[in-house]
């Protein structure tokens, strides 16, 4: 089997579409290849632009290899352009490199590189990921960054442009790709870096609400119901007011998916939603339901996140309630899969949009989804029951707003970091679902939501809302099954507590050992500390840290349960540790300074990890005592 065929065979499993493209290429069309130095080095001529890639291929590759030495400690690298593949081959010689991503704008260059160099082993194990520029989208980049430990190295991200050829002829594509990468990195940072106190509150409330969840309907059974093809998601942006008359007229011909804040507004205007979605941890969310009579909640299916405050559940008067779990590892670990997982995003509108695709709606229409300030910095529709003056005051007084592209592409509007974050989640989900669900943005105002089709509300209703919806019947719960699930869940939580205690003891033992050796470094400069801590002690501590990290990474209770709870706090520390990891050193003294930084960072890391596990154990203890 020749080199090219070996590469294609290895590529096929992970990148089948690119493989098909490459199989259609029979020979060079745009480029000529010249081999030199006993076929060890290649030069490429772009006939279309009359441009030769290198003046001297060997010297250029050797120069680049020296330049790339500064990336020797990087675990993840991102390249724009494969060229002849030689720079890529040299980088892959570094065994410390976990993954190298290469994005190429001309598939013929991949064809050439794959004929010249055998990448089959690294393509097979996905250590080398070669991507066609045309297949790159927001979701793909998010998945690339989120895999393995790549998310911990986002502060060290660099998109390296592979030579002057790409700088001269593909700079605009490079800039577009870089912008999309940075947007994806921002998404990953936001998804991993929430407030630890919010996470603990959500976890505590989730544990407290487990029995309530088990006593209500199973979300998975709801998803199997037949209903209607078109849904409208109602959010509370300033533009909602103008859409309500049309929604009322067509309410029998579309599924109405309301966020919790829109529920009172709809009822006030004589519109009864089919579904209401609520997911905030905070107590004030209950106000959206407290003011609605039982008769107006009757027959409305309420889908609530399990991590909400108990006051919220006390305010629900519907007889059709589904308490679902957020898709966090600590939820999936309990094996209550029939009760379902919903809302990777961070707003009720994100939750409703994810439900829309899961339920099987073919068309989803967004209204009131401004995600931007309206005229005079108006934040919400007129009948929104919670005052939003704080948002307004903060935006006006502190200029705490950002410019984003306006709906329809006509200029810019003002948004804030939170709305922009919600928009990122919606755009990501649109990309994930656009093969089977079309999302229409009929907000007719606010910010542009990339991936959605912008239409007027009247136009899309006239086109899609033609059939009357049928009644939805919710399945009854089995009381015997509920009691068994409650008992099994209680046993599972006790087992989680015992495993967490055992892991915490191992962490504490390592922390005490590291902390004791570091006592002598207190109040000393880095230079002084290096002199105090012997090389033997340094190696001993590095080995101890490596040993405990391996134990933690191998622990199922950590990887499948604890991580998703403690992530917000530990993520920021992992970013700092990654900063140390990638430092390039070329002498013994700098290497010892780096080792010292690594040890001190892990002293705090171990201390913090033990502390957050202690909090998890305490929360489970509270529920066992109830």
Per-block mean pLDDT, blocks of 10 residues, the chain (626 long): 92 91 92 84 94 93 93 96 96 95 97 96 95 92 83 94 95 96 88 81 94 95 92 94 96 97 95 96 92 92 96 93 94 94 94 97 97 77 60 56 88 87 93 96 96 97 93 86 95 96 97 92 80 89 97 95 89 93 92 93 96 95 76
Domain, as residue range, for 507: 480-625
- The Cα–Cα gap between 127 and 119 comes to 10
Measuring CA to CA, which residue among 308, 312, 342 is closest to residue 325? 342
Residues 273 and 365 in one domain: yes
Would you state the pLDDT for residue 392? 54
Measuring CA to CA, which residue among 350, 431, 440 is closest to residue 143? 431
- 402 part of a folded domain: yes
- Judged by DSSP in three states, 449 sits in coil
Sign of CA dihedral 408, 410, 416, 420: positive
Would you state the pLDDT for residue 69? 93
- 475 part of a folded domain: no
- For the chain, the residue count is 626
Would you state the pLDDT for residue 148? 66
Q: Using N-to-C axis directions, what is the helix angle for 171-192 and 417-433, rounded to 10°?
A: 110
Residues 81 and 168 in one domain: yes
Structure-derived torsion over alpha carbons of residues 604, 607, 612, 614, reported in degrees to the nearest 10 = -170
The CATH number covering residue 26 comes to: 3.40.50
Residue 239 CB: number of other CB atoms within 10 A?
A: 23
- 472 part of a folded domain: no
* Distances in whole angstroms, Cα of residue 325 to Cα of each of 105, 181, 338, 591: 41, 30, 10, 46
End-of-domain residue from the set 156, 175, 191? 191
- The Cα–Cα gap between 45 and 325 comes to 57
Residues 329 and 392 in one domain: yes
Would you state the pLDDT for residue 596? 92
Structure-derived torsion over alpha carbons of residues 476, 481, 485, 488, reported in degrees to the nearest 10 = 180
Would you state the pLDDT for residue 36? 77
Residues 487 and 448 in one domain: no
Could you tell me whether strands 402-405 and 412-415 are parallel, antiparallel, or unpaired per DSSP bridges?
Answer: antiparallel
Instruction: Give me the number of domains the chain comprises.
Output: 3
Would you state the pLDDT for residue 555? 96
- The Cα–Cα gap between 217 and 476 comes to 7
Residues 257 and 399 in one domain: yes
- The Cα–Cα gap between 68 and 63 comes to 9
End-of-domain residue from the set 158, 191, 224? 191
Would you state the pLDDT for residue 427? 95
- 123 part of a folded domain: yes
Look up the pTM and report it.
Answer: 0.84
CB 365 within 8 A of CB 233: yes
- 470 part of a folded domain: no
């Amino acid at each position: 089997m020749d080199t090219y065929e070996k590469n294609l065979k290895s590529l096929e499993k992970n990148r089948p579409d690119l493989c098909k493209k490459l199989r259609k290429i029979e020979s060079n069309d745009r480029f000529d290849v010249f081999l030199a130095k006993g076929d060890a080095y290649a030069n490429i001529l772009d006939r279309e632009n009359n441009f030769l890639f290198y003046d001297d291929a060997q010297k250029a590759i050797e120069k680049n290899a020296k330049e790339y030495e500064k990336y020797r400690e990087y675990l993840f690298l991102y390249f724009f352009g494969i060229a002849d593949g030689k720079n890529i081959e040299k980088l892959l010689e570094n065994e410390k490199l976990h993954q190298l991503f290469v994005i190429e704008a001309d598939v013929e260059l991949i064809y050439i590189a794959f004929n010249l160099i055998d990448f089959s082993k690294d393509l097979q194990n996905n250590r080398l990921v070669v991507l066609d520029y045309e297949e790159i989208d927001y979701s793909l980049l998010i998945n690339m960054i989120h895999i393995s430990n790549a998310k911990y190295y986002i502060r060290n991200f660099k998109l390296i442009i592979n030579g002057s050829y790409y700088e001269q002829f593909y700079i605009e594509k490079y800039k577009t790709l870089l912008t999309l990468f940075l947007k994806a990195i921002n998404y990953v940072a936001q998804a991993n870096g929430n407030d630890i106190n919010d996470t603990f509150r959500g976890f505590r409330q989730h544990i407290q609400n487990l029995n309530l969840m088990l006593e209500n309907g199973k979300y998975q059974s709801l998803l199997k119901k037949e209903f209607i093809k078109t849904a409208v998601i109602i959010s509370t942006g300033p533009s909602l007011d103008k859409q309500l008359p049309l929604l009322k007229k067509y309410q029998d011909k579309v599924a109405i998916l309301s966020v919790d804040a829109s529920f009172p507004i709809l009822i006030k205007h004589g519109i009864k939603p089919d579904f209401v979605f609520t997911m905030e941890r905070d107590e004030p969310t209950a106000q959206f339901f407290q003011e609605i009579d039982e008769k107006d909640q009757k027959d409305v299916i309420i889908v609530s996140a399990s991590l909400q405050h108990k006051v919220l559940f006390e305010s629900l008067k519907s007889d059709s309630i589904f308490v679902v779990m957020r898709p966090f590892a600590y939820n999936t670990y309990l094996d209550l899969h029939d009760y379902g997982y919903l809302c990777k995003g961070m707003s009720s509108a994100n939750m409703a949009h994810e439900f829309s695709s899961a339920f099987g709606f073919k068309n989803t229409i967004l209204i009131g989804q401004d995600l931007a300030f309206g005229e005079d910095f108006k934040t919400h529709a007129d009948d929104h029951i919670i005052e939003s003056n704080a948002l307004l005051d903060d935006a006006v007084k502190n200029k705490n707003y950002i410019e984003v592209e306006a709906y329809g592409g006509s200029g810019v509007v003002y948004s804030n970091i939170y709305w922009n974050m919600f928009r990122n989640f919606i755009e990501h989900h649109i990309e994930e679902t656009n093969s089977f669900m079309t999302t229409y943005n009929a907000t007719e105002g606010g910010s542009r939501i990339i991936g959605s089709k912008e239409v007027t509300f009247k136009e899309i209703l006239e086109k899609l809302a033609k059939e009357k919806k049928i009644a939805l019947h919710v399945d009854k719960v089995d009381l015997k099954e509920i009691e068994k699930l409650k008992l099994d869940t209680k046993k599972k939580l006790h087992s989680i507590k015992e495993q967490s205690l055992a892991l915490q003891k191992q962490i504490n033992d390592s922390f005490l050992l590291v902390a004791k050796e570091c006592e002598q470094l207190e109040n000393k400069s880095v230079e002084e500390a290096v002199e105090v801590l012997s090389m033997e002690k340094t190696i001993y501590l590095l080995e101890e840290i490596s040993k405990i990290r391996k134990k933690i990474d191998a622990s199922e209770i950590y990887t499948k349960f604890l991580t998703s709870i403690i992530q917000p706090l530990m993520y920021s520390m992992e970013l700092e540790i990654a900063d140390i990891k990638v430092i390039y050193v070329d002498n013994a003294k700098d290497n010892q300074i780096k080792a010292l930084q690594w040890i001190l960072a892990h002293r705090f890391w171990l201390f913090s990890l033990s502390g957050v596990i202690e909090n998890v154990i305490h929360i489970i203890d509270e529920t066992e005592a109830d």
